[in-house]
């Protein structure tokens, strides 16, 4: 069997302590999953069901590095997030089995063209042009759960040019990792290779060319990007 065109290159992430790569299937992102961020975006954290959007696998910027400022925007924002990487999936996964599906965790950034996302929100249109552009998902090497366990708490923060802009704790997630996996698996068939960006703490804001972003999740990892 041959392909009629060259097959797309498999997007991957490096793995801490291994020369092998993690192959990426789908990328699911949870919206407004920290109460303080939900409020800063005009939401009501007490009433909202979880909601999701997606990026494609090849939007990942593996390991960070240079992040090219994307076209058609003057308001690109950082969103520092815990990333969950699945080694198995399925439909209707019960919460008490959800953590068994996890390969490991990474430190990621859900980079966002906020101006375009805002226009789409206002018009009731999909968010892709705000969210799913090239290099919009920088992510660190994955740290296997077999090494670090399943972090239920730990500081998550982002510095821009040495100044702390976002600061939270994983224990502030409105929908925790097991709940998010269980809920998502009622809507989609989850699979090995899926990534879940679990939402961002308060303090999102714009970046400029030349900015150096340094994100850390206690017990998980770090991500560095330079806006170019
Ligand atoms: Mn986000």
Q: How do residues 56-66 score in pLDDT, each as one tens digit? A: 999 999 999 99
Return all residues near 149 (Cβ < 8 A) that are at least 6 apart: none
* Domains assigned to the chain: 12-227 (3.90.850.10)
Is the pTM above the cut of 0.85? yes
Tell me 43's DSSP state. Answer: -
Alpha carbon distances (Å) from 64 to 57, 154, 214: 15, 21, 10
Quote the CA–CA distance of 51 and 49 in Å, as a whole number. Answer: 6
pLDDT given for residue 181 in this prediction: 98
1 CA to centre of ligand 1 in angstroms = 40
Quote the CA–CA distance of 188 and 180 in Å, as a whole number. Answer: 12
Angle of CA points 127, 180, 158, to nearest 5°? 65
152 CA to centre of ligand 1 in angstroms = 19
Quote the CA–CA distance of 191 and 91 in Å, as a whole number. Answer: 9
Q: What is the pLDDT along the chain (228 residues), one digit of tens a residue?
A: 899 999 999 999 999 999 999 999 999 999 989 988 788 888 777 767 889 999 999 999 999 999 999 999 999 999 999 999 999 999 999 999 999 999 999 999 999 999 999 999 999 999 999 999 999 999 999 999 999 999 999 999 999 999 999 999 999 999 999 999 999 999 999 999 999 999 999 999 999 999 999 999 999 999 999 999
pLDDT given for residue 175 in this prediction: 94
**Do residues 120 and 72 touch, judged by C-beta distance below 8 A?**
no
**Do residues 204 and 40 touch, judged by C-beta distance below 8 A?**
yes
pLDDT given for residue 47 in this prediction: 63
87 CA to centre of ligand 1 in angstroms = 22
Quote the CA–CA distance of 18 and 150 in Å, as a whole number. Answer: 19
**How many residues would you count in the chain?**
228
110 CA to centre of ligand 1 in angstroms = 5
Report the 10 Å Cβ neighbour count for 86.
Answer: 26
126 CA to centre of ligand 1 in angstroms = 15
3 CA to centre of ligand 1 in angstroms = 36
Structure tokens that stand for 47 in this block: 């009433």
203 CA to centre of ligand 1 in angstroms = 12
Quote the CA–CA distance of 129 and 72 in Å, as a whole number. Answer: 9
Quote the CA–CA distance of 63 and 68 in Å, as a whole number. Answer: 14
2 CA to centre of ligand 1 in angstroms = 39
22 CA to centre of ligand 1 in angstroms = 22
146 CA to centre of ligand 1 in angstroms = 26
5 CA to centre of ligand 1 in angstroms = 34
**Do residues 198 and 83 touch, judged by C-beta distance below 8 A?**
yes
pLDDT given for residue 131 in this prediction: 98
| Residues flanking ion ligand 1, Cβ below 5 Å | 79, 110, 200
pLDDT given for residue 109 in this prediction: 98
**Do residues 29 and 55 touch, judged by C-beta distance below 8 A?**
yes
82 CA to centre of ligand 1 in angstroms = 10
């Amino acid at each position: 069997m041959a392909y009629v065109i060259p097959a797309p290159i498999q997007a991957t992430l490096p793995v801490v302590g291994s020369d092998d790569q993690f192959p990426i299937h789908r990328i699911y992102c949870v919206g407004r999953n920290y109460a303080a961020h939900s409020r800063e975006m005009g939401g009501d954290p007490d009433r909202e069901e979880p909601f999701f959007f997606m990026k494609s696998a090849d939007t990942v910027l593996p390991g960070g590095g240079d992040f090219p400022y994307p076209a058609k925007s003057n308001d690109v924002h950082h969103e520092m997030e815990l990333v969950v990487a699945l080694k198995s999936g399925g439909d209707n996964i019960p919460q008490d089995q959800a953590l068994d599906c996890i390969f490991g965790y990474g430190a990621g950034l859900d980079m966002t063209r906020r101006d375009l996302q805002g226009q789409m929100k206002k018009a009731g249109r999909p968010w892709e042009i705000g969210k799913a552009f090239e290099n919009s998902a920088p992510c660190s090497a994955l740290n296997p759960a077999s090494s670090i366990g399943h972090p239920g708490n730990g500081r998550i923060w982002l510095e821009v040019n040495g100044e702390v802009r976002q600061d939270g704790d994983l224990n502030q997630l409105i929908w925790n990792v097991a709940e998010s996996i269980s809920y998502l698996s009622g809507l989609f068939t989850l699979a090995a290779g899926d990534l879940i960006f679990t939402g961002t703490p308060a303090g999102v804001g714009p970046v400029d060319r030349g900015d150096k972003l340094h994100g850390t999740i206690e017990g998980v990892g770090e991500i560095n990007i330079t806006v170019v």
